Amino acid sequence: MRMERRPVLRYLEAGLMYKVLIVDDEEPVREAVKILGEWEKLNIHEIIEAENGKDAIRIVREKQPELVIVDMKMPEMSGSEFLRIVELDYPDIQTIVVSGYDSFEFTRQAILSRVTDYLLKPISGEELNAALEKCISKTEKITQGLNHNIPLSVLKTNTLMSILKGSFESNGTKMYLRTFGDNCNEKYFNIALLRIMSIQEYTVNSADKSPEFFCSEIVSMINEACMENIECFSFVDTLKSNQIVMLISDNDITKKDNHMIYVEAVRKLYKKVREKFKADVIISIGSSFQGIKSVGGSYRSAEVILLSLNAIDTREGIYTEAVSCTRTAQASILTNMFLIKNAVEKGSFHYLKSIISDYLIKIKEGDYFSFKDAEKTTREFIILMEDIAEAFGVPQKLPINSDSNYVFSSFQEFEKLLYTIIDVYYHEIRKCIKANENFDIVEIKDFIDKNYFQDIKISIFTNKYYLSRAYIMKLFKKNFGCGIHEYIQNVRMRKAGELLNDKQLKILSISQLLGYTDTNYFSKAFKNYYGVSPTDYRKQ
C-alpha cells in the first residue's frame, strides 16, 4: 500500500531553506538543541543563537527567522514577554518553547501566543524534530501562495493574509502585489468583516451543512457583484469559519476620502446577501488606508469594532464605530478553577455543568458581554481545562485547543462551545483517572533497573500507560527524588563502577554494555558522576 507523503516533505522537495533562532541563557542547552536537531534533513540552513529575549528580538528583526526555539525563564527579557512581542509583530514565525518549568502561567502564555509545541527539559531528539516538522508544515501552509499554478483568487487570498498578519515582507511575495492592480500603492482600501449570526440555523437544510461551505457561497456572490468604480474581493477568514474578509477599493485614485463611498458599497452588498441567503449578518467596516500594504490597519480597526459588539444582544446591521459601554467588571472563569477541578476529580459531570451554567447566568445578568470578552473567556477556559487535564496525566493536548475552534456569532453559540469544551475534556480526564487507578510508578523504576542498557525514551511509558510525559516525570521525581533521565544515568554509572572492577573488561566494552554508542560521552558522564575518569577509577 502506497502511503501519502506528509506536507513537510513536499515542502522540502521544493528546495526552500529556513533559519532557526535558539534563545536560551544556558549555553549547554543551546548546544544540546544544535546537536539533537536534524537540521539538514529539515532544510534548515542557518542556526542563530541568542542569550536573552532582548537580543532575540533584535535578531528577529534583522534576520527574520522562520522558526524560533525559546526558553521561558531568562534574564533581560523573559520568554513570555518575547512570545507576546513575536505573536503581535511577527505572527507567521513558528515558535517552540523549551522549558525546565512545568508552570501553569508559562503554559498559559504559550497557548495565548499560539506556540507550535511546549517541550520540557531535558528534551529528546525525537520530540524536538517532531516539533520542528510541525513548524515547517505550518510555514508551508502560510507560504503556499508561492506556487504559481494555484488559482488567482487563492493567490490573492494568501498575499492579502500575509499583509494582514504583518508577514508580507518575509514571505518574499512582493511580485504578487500586482494581483490587486498596477496602482495598488496609490489606491485607498477598506477592510470590512462580515459575520453570519447563528450560522448553524442556515446550514441545516443545506446539502453541505458546514459553515465553510455556506460562507464560500456568500464569498462567490460578493466577488461576482459589480458596482460602478468599486472593486470588492472577499474570502473566508482562515481563523474563523463563520467570518468573511472583504477588501474594498475605488478605481479612482484621485479620491482621498473614500470611506463614505465604501460604506455605501457595503450597504448594497449587505442588502444582496440578506435577499439571496435570508441570513442575519453583521458587518464592521474599518478605516480607509492608502496602499495595499497598509490594509492591516483597516483590518485591525474593523476587528476592534466587531469584537466590541454585545454578544448577549447582537443586532444585525452595519457598524462603523466600536460600541462603548460602561459596565461592572466580569469575574474571570478562572475563579472557578478549584470547583471545576473538584467536580472532574469526583466524577460529577452534572455538578460541572451547573458550575458553568451559574457562571453564564451571571454574565447574562450584566447585560453587556462583548465578542472580545467571549473569545478571552474561551481561551482562558481551554487553558484551565488543559491545566487540569495535564494534572491528571492526559497525554496530549486535545484538538479543541485551537483558535480555529472559537467559532460563534451569538451568546447561544458561545454557551454551546463552553459546554462542548467541558464534555470533551471531562471524558478524556475521567478516562485517564481510571487508568491511573491501575498505575504504579514503581513499574517504571523496575523497567529501568532491568533495561538500563537500552535506549529508554519517555514515549515508551506514555504510550503504555496513556499518561502525559509531564505527569509521569513529575510523579517519578516525587517518589524517587530525581528525574527519569537522571535515574537512568545513575543506574548506568553504578553498574559501570561494578564492571570496572573486572580488569579483563575493556572500557569500550563496558560503555557498550551500558548502552553508550560514544565512548567519549561515557567517559565524560562517568567523570561527572564519580569525579575521576574510568581509567583513574580502575587504578584506585
Confidence of residue 17 (pLDDT cuts 50, 70, 90): confident
Chain-centre distance of CA 112, in angstroms? 8
Confidence of residue 198 (pLDDT cuts 50, 70, 90): low
Q: What does the pLDDT average to over 189-216?
A: 70
Alpha carbons 505 and 502: distance in angstroms, whole number? 6
Helix (H, G, I), strand (E, B) or coil at 302: helix
> Of 75-79, 160-164, 383-387, where does the model show the most confidence?
383-387
C-alpha cell at 28: 549547554
For the four alpha carbons of 407, 413, 417 and 418, in that order, the dihedral sign comes to positive
Q: Which of 495, 507, 505 minimizes the C-alpha distance to 454? A: 495
45 CB neighbour count, 10 Å cutoff: 12
Enumerate residues 6+ apart whose C-beta is below 8 A from 371. 306, 307, 308, 309, 311
Beta pairing class for 243-250 and 188-196: antiparallel
Enumerate residues 6+ apart whose C-beta is below 8 A from 284. 192, 193, 302, 303, 305, 306, 309, 318, 319, 320
Buried b (16+ CB within 10 A) or exposed e, 173-202: beebbebbeeebeebbbbbbbbbbbebbeb
**Would the pLDDT of 283 be above 60?**
yes
Q: Which residue has the higher pLDDT, 437 or 220?
A: 220
Range of lowest pLDDT (95-99, 277-281, 362-366, 508-512): 277-281
As a whole number of angstroms, the longest Cα–Cα distance in the chain is 95
pLDDT for 358: 93
**Would the pLDDT of 209 be above 60?**
no
Q: What does the pLDDT average to over 132-152?
A: 68
The pLDDT tens digits for 310-333 are: 998 888 889 999 887 766 667 788
**Would the pLDDT of 96 be above 70?**
yes
C-alpha cell at 173: 511575495
Q: What does the pLDDT average to over 75-90?
A: 80
Alpha carbons 107 and 524: distance in angstroms, whole number? 34
Beta pairing class for 18-23 and 117-120: unpaired
47 CB neighbour count, 10 Å cutoff: 17
Q: What does the pLDDT average to over 155-161?
A: 80
User: What is the rounded average pLDDT for all residues in the chain?
Assistant: 81
Q: CA 129, 133, 138, 139: dihedral to nearest 10 degrees?
A: 90
Range of lowest pLDDT (380-394, 414-428, 525-539): 380-394
pLDDT for 238: 72
pLDDT for 5: 31
The pLDDT tens digits for 344-380 are: 888 899 999 999 999 999 998 888 899 999 989 998 8
Buried b (16+ CB within 10 A) or exposed e, 270-292: beebeeeeebbbbbbbbebbeeb
Instruction: Give me the residues paired with residue 236 across strands.
Output: 244
Enumerate residues 6+ apart whose C-beta is below 8 A from 349. 343, 426
Q: Hunting for cell 467596516 — which residue is that? A: 285
Q: What does the pLDDT average to over 90-99?
A: 85
Q: Can 7-142 and 442-539 be said to share one CATH topology? A: no
The pLDDT tens digits for 102-120 are: 655 566 656 665 788 888 8
The architecture in CATH of the region 145-319 reads: 2-Layer Sandwich (3.30)
pLDDT for 103: 58
**Would the pLDDT of 262 be above 60?**
yes
Task: Judge if the upstream peptide bond of residue 65 is cis by omega within 30 degrees of 0.
Answer: no
Q: Where are the domains of the chain?
A: 7-142, 145-319, 333-437, 442-539
For the four alpha carbons of 38, 42, 48 and 53, in that order, the dihedral sign comes to negative
Q: Which CATH superfamily is domain 7-142 in?
A: Response regulator (3.40.50.2300)
Range of lowest pLDDT (6-15, 288-297, 465-474): 6-15
Instruction: Give pTM, 2 decimals.
Output: 0.57
Helix (H, G, I), strand (E, B) or coil at 202: helix
The pLDDT tens digits for 428-456 are: 888 888 777 777 889 999 999 999 888 88
Alpha carbons 108 and 117: distance in angstroms, whole number? 13
pLDDT for 4: 32
Q: In whole angstroms, how far apart are CA 94 and each of 2, 97, 300, 404, 427?
A: 31, 10, 22, 17, 31
Pick the CATH number of 442-539 from 1.10.10.60, 1.10.1740.10, 1.10.1060.10, 3.40.50.300: 1.10.10.60
> Of 8-17, 133-142, 318-327, 481-490, where does the model show the most confidence?
481-490
Cβ(484)–Cβ(444) under 8 Å? yes
Range of lowest pLDDT (56-60, 470-474, 505-509): 470-474
